[in-house]
Structure 1
Amino acid sequence: MSGREFFTARTLAEVRAGFRPAHRTPAERVPLAEALHRVPVAGITAPADLPGFARSTVDGFAVRAMDTYGASDALPSYLDLLGAVRMGAEPDVAVRAGGCVAMPTGGVLPPGADAVVMVEYTAETMPGTIEVTRPVAPGGGLVRADEDVARGGVLAPGGRPLRAPDLGFLAAAGVTEVAVHRRPRVAIVSTGDEVVPPGTARLGPGQVRDATASALAGLVADAGGEPVIAGIVPDEPGALKDRLTALLPESDLVVVSAGSSVGTRDETAGAVAAVGDVWCHGIAIKPGKPTLLAECAGIPLIGLPGNPLSALVVFGQVGVPLLWRLAGCESPPPQPSTRARLSRDLASAAGRLDVVQVGVRDGLAEPIFGPSALLSVLTRADGYVIVPEPATGLDAGTEVEVVLYR
Structure 2
Amino acid sequence: MSGREFFTARTLAEVLSGFRPVHRTPAEDVPLSAALHRVPVADIPAPAALPGFARSTVDGFAVRAADTYGASDGLPSYLDLLGAVRMGAEPTVAVRPGGCVAMPTGGVLPAGADAVVMVEYTAETMPGTIEVTRPVAPGGGIVRADDDIAAGAPLVPGGRPLRAPDLGFLAAAGVTSVAVHARPRVAIISTGDEVVPPETVNLAPGQVRDATASALAGLVVDAGGEPIIAGIVPDEPGALKERLAAVVAESDLVVVSAGSSVGARDETAGAVAAIGQIWCHGIAIKPGKPTLLAECSGIPIIGLPGNPLSALVVFGQVGVPLLWRVAGCEYAPPQPSTRARLSRDLPSAAGRLDVVQVRVRDGVAEPLFGPSALLSVLTRADGYLIIPEPATGLDAGTDVEVVLYR
Q: How does 1:347-386 map to 2 (within 5 A)?
A: 347-386=347-386
Question: What does the per-residue CA deviation read over 1:239-296, in whole Å, with 9 as the maximum and x for residues that have no partner?
Answer: 1111111111110000000246522684211100000001111111000000000001
Taking the TM superposition and a 5 Å limit, the aligned residue runs for 1:3-402 are 3-259=3-259, 261-263=261-263, 266-402=266-402
Q: Which runs of 4+ in 1 moved over 3 A?
A: none
> How far apart, in 1, do the equivalents of 2:299 and 2:96 lie?
68
Distance across 2 between alignment mates of 1:79 and 1:208: 84
Kept in 2: contact 1:342–1:364 (CA 8 A): yes
Q: In angstroms, what is the RMSD of aligned CA positions?
A: 1.0
Partner SS state of residue 38, structure 2: coil
Q: Distance in 1 between matches of 2:376 and 2:231?
A: 24
SS at match of 1:86: coil
Write the distance in 2 (CA, Å) between the matches of 1:383 and 1:119. 49
Quote the Cα distance in structure 1 between the aligned partners of 2:47 and 2:352. Answer: 51
Q: Percent identity?
A: 87
Gaps of 5+ in 1: none
CA contact (8 A) 1:260 1:266 kept: no
SS in 2 for 1:202: coil
Distance 1:219 1:78 in 2: 65
Change (3 A) 1:261 1:291: farther
SS at match of 1:267: helix
SS in 2 for 1:356: strand
The number of residue pairs the alignment matches comes to 406
Aligned partners of 2:83, 2:143: CA distance in 1, in Å? 21
2:223 is matched by which residue type in structure 1?
A
Q: Summarize the Cα distance change of 1:265–1:128 in structure 2 as closer, same or farther, 3 Å threshold.
A: closer
SS in 2 for 1:263: helix
Q: What amino acid is the match of 2:173?
A: A
| Matched-pair contact (CA < 8 Å) for 1:260–1:291 | no
Q: For residue 133 of structure 1, what is the amino acid of its counterpart?
A: T
The Cα offsets for residues 75-124 of structure 1, whole Å up to 9 and x where unpaired, read as 11111100000000000000001110000000000011000000011000
- Cα separation, 1, equivalents of 2:250 and 2:265: 28
Superposed displacement of residue 4, structure 1? 1.8
CA displacement, residues 179-219 of structure 1 (integer Å, 9 cap, x when unaligned): 11111100000000100000001001100000000000000
**In the aligned structure 1, how far is the partner of 2:255 from the partner of 2:264?**
21
User: What TM-score do you get using the length of structure 2 for normalisation?
Assistant: 0.99
Call closer, same or farther: CA 1:25–1:84 in 2, change over 3 Å: same
- SS of the residue corresponding to residue 8 of structure 1 reads coil
Distance in 1, matches of 2:333 and 2:173, equals 25
Q: Deviations over 1:148-188 (max 9, x none)?
A: 00100110001111000000000000000011111110000
Q: Letter of the aligned partner of 1:273 in structure 2? A: A
Amino acid of the residue matched to residue 321 of structure 1?
Answer: P
**Partner Cα distance (2:289, 2:145) in 1:** 57
Equivalent AA in structure 1 for residue 67 of structure 2: D
Deviation at 1:363, TM superposition (A): 1.2
Cα contact 1:3–1:262 (8 A) shared by 2: no
CA deviation profile, 1:35-91 (whole Å, cap 9, x unmatched):
000111000010001000000000000000001111111111111100000000000
Q: How far apart in 2 are the matches of 1:380 and 1:365? A: 13
Aligned equivalents of 1:258 and 1:200: distance in 2? 20
- TM-score normalised according to structure 1 size: 0.99
| Equivalent position amino acid for 2:284 in 1 | A
**Does the 8 Å contact 2:258/2:265 carry over to 1?**
no
